[in-house]
């Protein structure tokens, strides 16, 4: 027992006698860290405000478009996009309920919270797939309608460009969602294993 305590105190001395060097320098400058942390904190707040502004901008843009193009098809499609945007916003807010807890919980409570966050993210991703499908379904006839407004007969290049752009955006979003889904699934599995990397 005494030998064990000697062993532990020797380990403690060794452990505490050094400060691991960081990539940016070994010295710990509390004032510099505070400045950096305040900048990051402000950045996060601006990011959240930016998300809301983006949604508000999208709603405004869609409404203005509908007002300037009073064609029934345009108005119906823009109104549908507005409803989808509002539904997505409402779901995002509802899905975050109860997750705004500080990081100073016990590790057991924090682990449960982290698992809950990952589960909610998976739900949000499922809704995102639905949203992407709904928007694609709306865009396909609307592009056709926009190309044929006023009795125009567009060439094949117009079709290729319009539908090619849609295919590119949908493809990029599909890849992003698939990557996020895989990342979230892996995180959830690790959290279920108690935070261990497998």
Partner 1 sequence: MDAVAILPVEGISERLEGRLEGLEARYERLLREHGPALRRATAGYEFDPVRREDLFQDICLAIWQALPRFRGDSSERTFLFRIAHNRGLTHRARRRPAPTADLTEAEEVADPAATPEAAAHDGQRRARLRDAVRRLPLEPQQVLTMTLEGLTPRDIADVLGITENNVAVRLSRARRLLRDTLAAAGEIS
Q: b vs e for 77-89, b when ≥16 Cβ sit within 10 Å of the residue's Cβ?
A: bbebbbebbeebb
The two tokens of residue 115 are 């698992």
> How far is residue 110's CA from residue 99's CA, in Å, rounded to a whole number?
10
CB-nearer residue toward partner 1: 30 or 157: 30
Closest among 81, 49, 43, 76 to 62, alpha carbons compared: 81
Q: By CB under 8 A, is residue 18 in contact with partner 1?
A: yes
Q: By CB under 8 A, is residue 70 in contact with partner 1?
A: no
Question: Binding pattern to partner 1, positions 28-47, x when CB under 8 A?
Answer: x-xx-xx-xxx-xx------
- Cα-based distances in Å from 189 to 63, 120, 193: 43, 14, 6
Among 15, 72, 94, 157, binds partner 1 (CB under 8 A): 15
Among 1, 2, 23, 47, binds partner 1 (CB under 8 A): 23
CB-nearer residue toward partner 1: 31 or 93: 31
Using alpha carbons only, give the angle 78, 127, 125 rounded to the nearest 5 degrees.
125
Report DSSP state, residue 26.
Answer: S
Spatial contact of 125 and 177, defined as CB atoms under 8 Å apart: yes
Among 48, 108, 153, 156, binds partner 1 (CB under 8 A): 108
Tell me the closest approach of the beta carbon of residue 165 to partner 1, in angstroms: 33
CB-nearer residue toward partner 1: 110 or 144: 110
Burial of 113: CB neighbours in 10 Å, binned 0-12, 13-18, 19+: middle
Among 1, 2, 3, 20, binds partner 1 (CB under 8 A): 20
Q: By CB under 8 A, is residue 114 in contact with partner 1?
A: yes
Spatial contact of 118 and 191, defined as CB atoms under 8 Å apart: yes
Q: By CB under 8 A, is residue 60 in contact with partner 1?
A: no
Which stretches of the chain bind partner 1, using CB under 8 A? 4, 7-8, 11-12, 14-24, 28, 30-31, 33-34, 36-38, 40-41, 102-111, 114, 183, 187, 190-191, 194-197
């Amino acid at each position: 027992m005494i030998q064990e305590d000697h062993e532990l105190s020797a380990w403690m001395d060794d452990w505490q006698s050094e400060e691991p060097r960081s990539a940016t320098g070994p010295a710990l400058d509390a004032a510099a860290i505070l400045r950096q942390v305040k900048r990051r904190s402000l950045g996060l707040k601006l990011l959240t405000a930016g998300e809301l502004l983006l949604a508000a901008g999208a709603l405004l843009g869609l409404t203005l478009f509908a007002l300037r193009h009073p064609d029934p098809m345009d108005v119906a499609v823009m109104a549908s996009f507005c409803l989808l945007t509002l539904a997505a916003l409402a779901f995002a807010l509802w899905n975050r309920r109860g997750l705004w807890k500080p990081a100073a919980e016990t590790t057991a409570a924090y682990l449960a919270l982290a698992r809950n966050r990952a589960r909610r993210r998976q739900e949000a991703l499922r809704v995102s797939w639905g949203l992407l499908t709904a928007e694609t379904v709306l865009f396909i006839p609307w592009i056709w309608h926009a190309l044929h407004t006023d009795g125009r007969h567009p060439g094949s290049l117009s079709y290729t460009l319009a539908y090619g752009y849609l295919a590119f955006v949908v493809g990029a979003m599909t890849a992003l969602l698939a990557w996020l889904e895989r990342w979230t699934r892996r995180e959830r599995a690790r959290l279920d294993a108690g935070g261990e990397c497998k």
